[in-house]
Chains A and B, each alone.
Chain A
């Protein structure tokens, strides 16, 4: 089946504007993760969803960042009043299950990312 998809693939915005990034996980995957990859950096965890709830939002950098997931499927990451330091690639991953399943159920499958540039 189809992999994780993300849209848009690229987004250029002006400082102070709001942006919405979308993630469409693999069908049937219950867990969803958002990560951020800044230039020359590794991936930084942002938020984790199990179904529609977010048990761990500890990685969100500020209250300008929020995310939701509806119907246990699509997730939207919203950045309000964007700043230049928000420029990064935002990656989404999904897994069939949370920890406790077999290794295949816990393997994270990543989307291609959204490259965000804030001018």
Chain B
């Protein structure tokens, strides 16, 4: 079945780059997503990548997709304390609608 896995915790120093990794199982997923969840808030879509791309850059965010290994990563350049949150990787399911399959989330802690 469909499954998405992420490491649970990442700690970085302010100003460094953060790299959050994710693996997925459904090779037919059309889109892969990164969502951010801050304490007490809902999920905010950060970025997405189409499955026929291998890289997407959006300001401080870089998404890399290795479709052969079913590996997705999110790089945050110049990480700030405001980036501290839980980051969820998600794949869109097969079928006629956009049900998302989420990983358990990676908690990013940014320290001075």
Which secondary structure characterizes the binding site on chain A?
A: strand
What are 22 inter-chain pairs, A to B, with CB distance below 8 A? A4-B42, A31-B97, A31-B98, A45-B99, A45-B100, A48-B97, A56-B95, A56-B99, A91-B42, A95-B98, A98-B96, A99-B95, A99-B96, A99-B97, A100-B96, A103-B48, A106-B31, A107-B45, A111-B42, A112-B40, A112-B41, A113-B42
Contacts of A35 in B (CB 8 A): 100, 102
> What sequence of 0s and 1s flags, for each residue 84-100 of chain A, a beta carbon within 8 Å of any chain B beta carbon?
00000001010100111
Q: How far is the CA of A8 from the CA of B97 in the complex (A)?
A: 28
Q: Which residues of A contact B (CB under 8 A)?
A: 4, 31, 33, 35, 40-45, 48, 50, 55-56, 91, 93, 95, 98-100, 103, 106-113
Asked if B64 CB lies within 8 Å of chain A CBs, one says no
Asked if B108 CB lies within 8 Å of chain A CBs, one says no
A43 partner, pick from B44, B48, B102, beta carbons under 8 A: B102
Q: List the 3 shortest-distance A-B pairs measured between CB atoms, nearest first.
A: A42-B102, A110-B42, A110-B43
